[in-house]
Each structure stands twice: as C-alpha cells, then as structure tokens.
Amino acid sequence: MSEALSPASPIHSYSPGTLIYEINLSIPREKIDEYIAWLKEFTTEQVAKVPGFISCMVFSQPKPHGLHWLSEEGNDKTYLTVHYVVASKAELDKYLEKYQAEVASAEQQRFDFLVTSRRTLSVVF
C-alpha cells in the first residue's frame, strides 16, 4: 500500500479557500485490499458524476490517538482518510442533502464493518 513519491508523481497544493470534504475510515486489516480496490473505483466515479466534486485523494494514516470512537478497536484496523476537493459550499450542501445518506448506506451495506467520521475543511493558507 505504501508507494514512494517519484519525480513523476503529482504534487498537490491548495489555494486559500479551497473546500475539502473529508471522510475518515476504519477498515479491518483483512479486508483492506478488497476495500481499496473498491474505493479507488468509487472515488473516481464520484468525482466524475457528483456536481462540484473536482478531485479526490486518499491517505493512509496510523491509528489516530485521542479519538474516543476508536479507543476500543485495538490494532487490527487500517485507517484511511479521503479528501474530495469541492467547488463550493453550495455544491457540497446539495450533495449532503441529496446523496450522502444514500452513498453511506450503500457503503455500509457492502462493508458493514466501517467506522466513519466526516468533516469539512477550508484552506486558510
């Protein structure tokens, strides 16, 4: 899952005001390969079809410290963070109102083990 950054890899930077919709995921280690294969296809599809979704990046992370909802999980999980760059708050609000619950439900049905949190970030500088 870990790939070294090569000179050909794109370097991402965001301008002040860029809106990020963040989803944090907790996946059992034994399911991570299946989940990543699905997530790659899913996030590409979301950017192509959801109005206002401009791009997406997926990050791996160590177990977050100090988050009460993860404190009982032990060390048998892999943690991912998804960042969608969204064109505007209005576009994000539309997505959250019309589609997010359906997307979350479909994901939960397919992968019933997920622990997720979501938040919105805006680049300051």
Q: Please give the domain boundaries of the chain with CATH numbers for all domains.
A: 19-122 (3.30.70.100)
Q: How far apart are CA 71 and CA 119, in angstroms?
A: 20
This prediction has a pTM of 0.80
Using CA atoms, how far residue 47 sits from 15, 28, 73, in Å, is 19, 26, 31
Answer whether 66's CB lies under 8 Å from 92's CB: no
Give 73-122 pLDDT, tens digit per residue: 667 888 899 999 999 999 999 999 998 887 777 777 777 767 678 999 99
